[in-house]
Structure 1
Amino acid sequence: MGRLPRRAFRVFRHGLPIFPASHLQDVGNIFLGGKHLPTQAKIERVAEIKEKLERCSIALTAGYSGIPVNDMTELRRRMTEAGVEFVVIKNTLANLAAEEAQVPHFSEIIEGPTAIAFGYADPVDTARAVNDYIRTTRSPLSIQGAIMGPGPILPPNEVERLATLPSKPQLMANLLGQIQSPISRLMGVLNGPLQNLDGLLQARIRQLEEGGEAA
């Protein structure tokens, strides 16, 4: 940022600089009254993460310290293929977004360089995608925890257990199979006597027909 002309601001007796609106974009962050005023980009970033936290079925945090840039690119690609949105954001902005989204406890699983994996469908799929990536690549990526809506925090071991559960389609298929199996057995039991009765009727019809011909 270049040096601002003297006419760009005036100073109150307390020594605090007051910038006209036309220069706020040039100034960026202003230290005023002990606080930094956020830039528009940061405000929009917080709003974006807030929207994701409100919309997702699971938000999983992971520490990515020590991961090379090339590996991070591959990680993003793998997550995208699995339907997971993998976002790197400054912790302060993530904490602000959590407050805005009414999930302040989310900040408890944000520590150090942290990325957030957002899943919008089955939470099991998101947990499995992250866990499988760590397992198959021996990546230093470390799961810190997860939240599913306003519920309690899932610690890393619970996230790993979640990753081993069957997905919703698998559960539905298993349930359907369990329902169909007794029905199939019942139909077999019911069809048995009916088939026997049909055989008896056919035999009786043939007997009557043969008797009529003999007469």
Structure 2
Amino acid sequence: MSLNLQEKQTVVAEVSAQVAQSQTIVLAEYRGIKVADITKLRATARESGVYLHVLKNTLARRAVQGTSFEALADSMVGPLVYSMSADAVAAAKVMCEFAKTNPLLVVKAGSMAGSVMSADQVAVLAATPSRDELIARLMATMNATTAKFVRTLAAIRDANGVVDAPAEVAAEAAAV
């Protein structure tokens, strides 16, 4: 079923809004994938905060026109599923993880920060920890440093016999 002009304009406006909020776009060919598998992919994408859409390439080209993703237009050939996310690695992770279990989904290209990425570069991006994971690692490192400092001070205090001093002062005060 073909879309009329107004429906096409609505689709382009919706996708353009998603493109404007996205840091990354990943294109994958879905030829031969069963509907049940695409439904699983959509559910996974939804859980990860990734916008997933199958649309005509001409409409996708119009949606990215005038954005930092415009260079990706040359890669928009064949039956493609478009995934976009505000998180820099989420779209790549969702598509690459699904492609591991379903070989019919083939990651073709991607774009981030105005540069076009090959399928191999998208796979490298997918292996990168997410922003939340990196923040958690940073906080653990910062916390470990502080905890180590506190343990060192406690060891110094214990080595100097400061722990026994308050007990001795209390005993002297009670004797008087």
Kindly name which structure, 1 or 2, has the bigger radius of gyration based on alpha carbons. Answer: 1
RMSD: 2.5
Say which SS state the counterpart of residue 51 (structure 2) adopts.
strand
- Indicate how the Cα distance of structure 1 residues 39 and 204 shifts in structure 2: closer, same or farther if over 3 A, else same: closer
* Structure 1 runs, 4 residues or longer, greater than 6 Å off: none
The count of aligned residue pairs is: 173
1:155 matched residue in structure 2: 118
Highest RCO, 1 vs 2 (Cα 8 Å, sep ≥ 6): 2
**1:82 aligns to 2:68 (yes or no):** no
- What's the CA shift for 1:61? 0.8
1:32 matched residue in structure 2: none
1:144 matched residue in structure 2: 108
CA displacement 1:59-101 (0-9 Å, x = unmatched): 1111112223333233323322332221111111111222143
Structure 2 residue identity aligned to 1:75 = L
1:61 to 17, 22, 27: 27
Mapped to 1, the partners of 2:136 and 2:123 lie a distance apart of: 23
- What's the CA shift for 1:201? 4.3
1:51–1:101 CA contact under 8 A, matched in 2: no
Say which SS state the counterpart of residue 90 (structure 2) adopts.
helix
2:138 matched residue in structure 1: 175
How does 1:9-158 map onto structure 2 within 5 Å?
39-101=5-67, 103-120=69-86, 122-136=87-101, 138-148=102-112, 150-158=113-121
Mapped to 2, the partners of 1:46 and 1:207 lie a distance apart of: 84
Q: Percent identity?
A: 24
**1:199 aligns to 2:128 (yes or no):** no
Structure 2 residue identity aligned to 1:111 = V
Structure 2 residue runs of 5 or longer lacking an equivalent are: none
Structure 1 residue runs of 5 or longer lacking an equivalent are: 1-27, 30-37
